Amino acid sequence: MKTLFHSFPAVLKAGLVAVGVLAAGACAYNETLGRNQLLFVSQGQMAELASSAWTDLKKQEPVTNDPKYVSRVNRVAPKIIQAAGENPADWEVQVFKSDQINAFALPGGKIGIYTGILDLMENDSQIAAVMGHEVAHVKFNHSGERYSQTAAAQTALSAGGALAGDSQVGSAAIQALGLGAQYGVLLPFSRKHELEADKFGLRYMNRAGYDMNEAVRFWEKMAASKNGAPPEFMSTHPSDATRIAQLKREIQLIRSGS
CA-CA distances (angstroms) from residue 35 to 139, 177, 192?
Answer: 15, 25, 11
**In this structure, is residue 5 part of a structural domain?**
no
Q: Is residue 166 included in any domain, yes or no?
A: yes
Query: Any bridge partners for residue 36, and if so which?
Result: 29
- The number of beta carbons lying within 10 Å of the beta carbon of residue 182 is 13
Helix or strand or coil: residue 78? helix
Q: How confident is the prediction along the chain (258 residues), in pLDDT tens digits per residue?
A: 433 333 333 433 344 344 444 454 467 888 888 888 887 777 888 888 888 889 998 999 999 999 999 999 999 999 999 999 999 999 999 999 999 999 998 889 999 999 999 999 999 999 999 999 999 999 998 888 888 878 777 765 565 554 445 555 445 544 555 566 555 655 666 888 999 999 999 999 999 999 999 999 999 998 887 766 667 766 778 888 999 999 999 999 999 987
Please report, for residues 22, 29, 105, 183, 255, the alpha-carbon distance to residue 40 in angstroms, rounded to integers and kept in the order given: 8, 13, 20, 21, 36
Q: Do the domain assignments include residue 2? A: no
Alpha carbon 3 to chain centroid, angstroms: 34
Answer yes or no: is 1 within a domain: no
247 forms beta bridges with none
Radius of gyration of the chain, Cα coordinates, nearest whole angstrom: 21
Active-site entry in 31, 122, 134, 194: 134
Decide: 105 and 57 in contact? Cβ < 8 Å: no
- Does the residue 3 lie in any domain? no
Q: Is residue 79 part of a domain?
A: yes
Q: Which domain holds residue 49?
A: 10-255
DSSP β-bridge partners for residue 63: 96
Catalytic residue list contains 134: yes
Task: Give me the number of domains the chain comprises.
Answer: 1
